[in-house]
Chain A
């Protein structure tokens, strides 16, 4: 069928089953927006900033497992979107980002709102395209969705010059994707899998090290089954929270810079790491030369470049975690006896008892950790929890009782402040039945505060819980610990009227000073079902602990901090 490039975009999104596009129009993308006006296949959600459009698409993708779609115009529209694209790249989130470009005849002339978009996105996308002929659009868009969702997922950027969106060409979406140069390995090598099982069978202290890849592969059930069968305990990275479930007896906790004592000690004492969809990030390993010194490594990952990048793997297995773990479970039956690891579990239990994750209550002041625990008690499984970046993010990861994968939505690799609120809108859109909470800080929330309008307009009632310490808390913590308390530009004593702010957009706001007020505010916000801001004044100088100082060894944790 003959149609314009702009119509092809709409048709392709229809064929891909897209029900939501987050975006912001502008000159170079107007032909496509004209077609959006005429169609009813998907809802377009107008965020109030392009960065937020991409974060919302990320939240949507993370909670649903589907490809998120964002659309922006050329020049500043695109550059605003770059932070979101880079965030999705670091956390392997499947996205298709479509941007307008100046007409082909103007490319290279420094035209109005021209920027070399594909040049910019090259280093922060899985792949990108500049479409120079409308006849290529069906193939390119189909490849874009395929690339975003398969292998190691990631963002794919499609840049379309304005004249290409007006050009008429043949649209045929029925041809299957044929890419001679892209064939991800999904089935792990059978011999390697067998060798890995043999290694587990003779290990004394094996440890499952779970990363975000487990969630991307929808392999949480398989991993839980493998752990249950073999009796091997597990630690999770930030990106893997919810995989095992908080009440799983084999779940130790999160590991890494702010991991629990038991989790980090288990990683330091293990003799066999079973890494599943994790990438040995510096925030996880601490000092590499001291990391898990006595351990061999089984590393299962869909991305061969992640294996032996930082830590050498004796048993590398390239493949889809779901498939490989299924195979491992089959082979483990009758071969691995859970009894074997009981002494190891006792050691871990000892670590747990020695320094359990916790905090000290103080009279008359709300502790930030309490807020997280309380949300967990009141909403538990019924809420999806997004966060921004900083202390509140770590406390959420430490203290929320995550019970399922895709419940925790956070910016891990890039660490993007301003991620949480728009992501929580995307989460609400993708999983409307559940409450969408954004745990945030008084620093982060202002980085995409304009989304209050989007949230009200499209009825995406995110509950923003601000753990307000009048500081850029995480930076302040580092200044306390490593910069002799020189609080350079981290004091946020100057604050808006939070309640007035959210009310001016049509939402509801609460200032909270006591625990009773918090309970009442959360209950009311859930009932009101509009965008909410719960401003909780928490103890000002609370630190996230334990802490492995940057570059330190994982087993050298700061467990408490006493002010001199």
Chain B
């Protein structure tokens, strides 16, 4: 069976061990986590967790059922039609071509967000695939540090 990439959102109670319940489940049952983001939902006792994972149709179905089975989990969404965004920040030496970096960042919904003595920091926010393209494209500007946020998604 062919592996498919899927983005799953989980609404779960804010409690100390909730996140480890999720990650333990994935490691115990041998499921992949490509990326995972979590943050509290404003004015509620729940958090929203977005997991990008991959597996066959049956595995994805099991992942959703097993997530549902965890006691603190309120809802699980598997997105079919979604808006997906990821953010990345990259540190470049100030000696690089700043206007090229700025132009490129703009093309990926980003900009230069910080300028220091020897380094600048650029950020972009786009679909995960496009973020990857951006990181490929800026390789020639000698990036010193790269950080990706992991994906977040909302259904259309």
Contacts and interface: CB of A to CB of B under 8 A. Distances in A.
A181 B76 CA distance: 11
Given A127-B71, A147-B71, A118 B17 contact: yes
Nearest to A182: B71
B72 A305 contact: no
Interface stretch (B57-65, B82-90, B97-105, B148-156): B57-65
B9 interface: no
19 contacts: A122-B17, A122-B24, A123-B24, A123-B28, A126-B71, A127-B71, A130-B16, A130-B17, A179-B71, A180-B74, A181-B12, A181-B13, A181-B72, A181-B73, A182-B71, A303-B69, A305-B66, A308-B58, A308-B61
A304 interface: yes
A457 to B, nearest CB: 37
A143 B73 CA distance: 15
B68 interface: yes
B21 interface: yes
B95 interface: no
B20 interface: yes
**What 10 pairs between A and B have smallest CB-CB spacing?**
A305-B65, A127-B71, A181-B74, A123-B28, A305-B69, A122-B24, A304-B65, A182-B71, A305-B66, A123-B24
Q: Which of B12, B17, B28 has the most C-beta atoms of chain A within 10 angstroms of its own C-beta?
A: B17
Contact of B20 (A122, A126, A305, A309): A122
A309 B71 contact: no
Nearest to A125: B71
B24 to A, nearest CB: 5
A496 interface: no
A445 B73 CA distance: 41
Interface string B1-24: 000000000001100110011001
A363 interface: no
A364 interface: no
Interface residues of B, number: 19
Contacts of B21: 122
A130 B72 CA distance: 14
A119 interface: yes
Contacts of A304: 65, 68-69
Q: Which of B17, B68, B71 has the most C-beta atoms of chain A within 10 angstroms of its own C-beta?
A: B71
B23 to A, nearest CB: 10
A409 B66 CA distance: 28
Interface residues on A, range: 10 to 19
Nearest to A152: B69
Contacts of A122: 17, 20-21, 24
A147 B13 CA distance: 16
B57 to A, nearest CB: 10
A497 to B, nearest CB: 44
Nearest to B66: A305
Nearest to A308: B61
Nearest to B12: A181
A303 B66 CA distance: 10
Nearest to B25: A123
A305 B17 contact: no
A305 B71 contact: no
A305 B68 contact: yes
Nearest to A309: B62
Given A147-B71, A304-B69, A305-B62, 6 more contacts: A122-B21, A122-B24, A181-B71, A182-B71, A303-B69, A304-B68
Interface string A287-309: 00000000000000001110011
A536 B155 CA distance: 67
Contacts of A130: 16-17
Contacts of B73: 181
Contacts of B68: 304-305
Contacts of B16: 130
Interface string A181-197: 11000000000000000
A393 to B, nearest CB: 26
Contacts of A118: 17
A309 B29 CA distance: 12
Nearest to B21: A122
B66 to A, nearest CB: 5
Interface string A302-346: 011100110000000000000000000000000000000000000
Contacts of A123: 24, 28
Interface string A223-264: 000000000000000000000000000000000000000000
Contacts of B72: 181
B47 to A, nearest CB: 12
A309 B71 CA distance: 20
A123 B24 CA distance: 7
Contacts of A180: 74
Contacts of A182: 71
A454 B55 CA distance: 50
B133 to A, nearest CB: 38
B118 to A, nearest CB: 39
